[in-house]
Amino acid sequence: MAYPGYGGAFGNFSGQMPGMQMQMGQPLPGTGPNLLPGGYPVYSDSYSSAGDPMWTYFTAVAGQDGEVDAEELQRCLTQSGINGIYSPFSLETCRIMIAMLDRDYTGKMGFNEFKELWAALNAWKQHFIAIDQDQSGTVEHHELNQAIAAMGYRLSPQTLTAIVKRYSKNGRIFFDDYVACCVKLRALTDFFRRRDHLQQGVVNFVYDDFLQGTMAI
């Protein structure tokens, strides 16, 4: 079986992975950067940070290099208690979120990226609380089923069960795993849809393209 591109040149790789340019949530009014007509936020290092209440917090989290990496983000989210339990926020989820919102491809969060991430996280948290109908602090199988359907995805029961198995602990999905699950579902769906030109739910992948799209998310 031939894999066109397998073992071939990787020189075309631009650092821009498919599926990573979507937004996790709309920036909250007043907290996000200005939008250009094209819908792309303006990210400028000359943005005046002075007087921004978030700046002090950011610099404390970021440390010497002035950027927040996955470990720093994990520490700050764990300390914030956003997960609702006294356990570390998943490092993997931190990596996924950084990959998604790292506009300038430094692999870390600058101040504006960090602010966007923070706004998106708050939006996800509200979402999570709304989905957790029995207020157990976690999302269970039937709650995820309803949430995913409400988001417009059409998954088979088998696929849903596989997702719950992958992202839950004893059938309970905690906030960090929920974020990772939703971000990945959306990124992979976007990746697929962009190639599904006839919108038939069927795509032919080139091997290397498939790996870029799935391994990078």
Interface residues toward Ca ion, by CB under 5 A: 102, 104, 106, 110, 132, 134, 136, 140
Q: How far is the CB of 203 from Ca ion (least distance, A)?
A: 31
Q: Which residues of 121-150 are buried (b: 16+ CB within 10 A; e: fewer)?
A: bebbbebbeebbeeeeebbbbebbbebbee
For residue 44, which of 111, 106, 100 has the smallest C-alpha distance?
111
Q: Which tokens sit at 72?
A: 């720093």
CB of 168 to Ca ion, least distance (A): 11
Query: N- to C-terminal Cα distance for the chain?
Result: 26
Instruction: Return the ∠ at Cα 126 (arms to 123 and 131), rounded to 5°.
Output: 125
Output the CA–CA distances (angstroms, integers) from residue 118 to 113, 123, 154, 171, in the order listed: 9, 9, 29, 27
Task: Give the distance between the most distant pair of CA atoms in the chain.
Answer: 60
Nearer to Ca ion, 52 or 65 (CB): 65
Q: Which is nearer to Ca ion, 136 or 146 (CB)?
A: 136
CB 89 within 8 A of CB 74: yes
Q: Kindly tell me which of 178 and 208 has the beta carbon lying closer to Ca ion.
A: 178
Taking the complex as a whole, how short is the minimal distance between the CB of residue 109 and Ca ion, in angstroms?
Answer: 6
Taking the least distance from each CB to Ca ion, the nearer of 139 and 180 is 139
Shortest Å distance, C-beta 136 to Ca ion: 4
Q: By C-beta, is 56 or 106 nearer to Ca ion?
A: 106
Q: How far is the CB of 127 from Ca ion (least distance, A)?
A: 13
